[in-house]
Amino acid sequence: MEMKKHEILEQKMCKELDVLEQKYQQGQEMSIQDLEKIDKLYHALKSMATYNAMKEAEEYSEEGFSGRRGRAMNGRYVSRDMDPRMSGGYDDGYSGHYPMYPPYPRY
């Protein structure tokens, strides 16, 4: 089984948080140093999760599944990844403005 990139670092940071949690479950008071360590660990985990999500999205995009859209010459939205005739975008005449159906009377 292949480990995902940096998984060992994530496991070590979570283990360190577990050690701190056990320390406080025993009734010890939180020190400023522990609070700073907790803050840094959570910040690092959050940054790691963001990095992993961005890399995953980048790989997904490189495979041609980005879902990006652009405008055709006629101004309608079309997928940049597909044949415009197959995009199913807004080629039904819908301009993107509400209301579409039913037409409401103007006063």
Distance between CA atoms of 79 and 90, rounded to whole angstroms?
10
Tell me if 66 sits within 8 A of 46, measured CB to CB: no
pLDDT band at 56 (very low <50, low <70, confident <90, very high): confident
Measured CA to CA, the distance from residue 41 to residue 16 in angstroms comes to 8
Say yes or no to pLDDT of 50 above 80. yes
pLDDT attached to residue 86: 52
The span from the CA of 95 to the CA of 80, in Å, is: 18
Closest CA to 49 of 57, 61, 39, 38: 57
Rounded to two decimals, the pTM is 0.53
Confidence at residue 59, expressed as pLDDT on a 0 to 100 scale: 80
| Separation of alpha carbons 52 and 6, rounded Å | 10
* Range ranked top by mean pLDDT from 7-11, 53-57, 68-72: 7-11
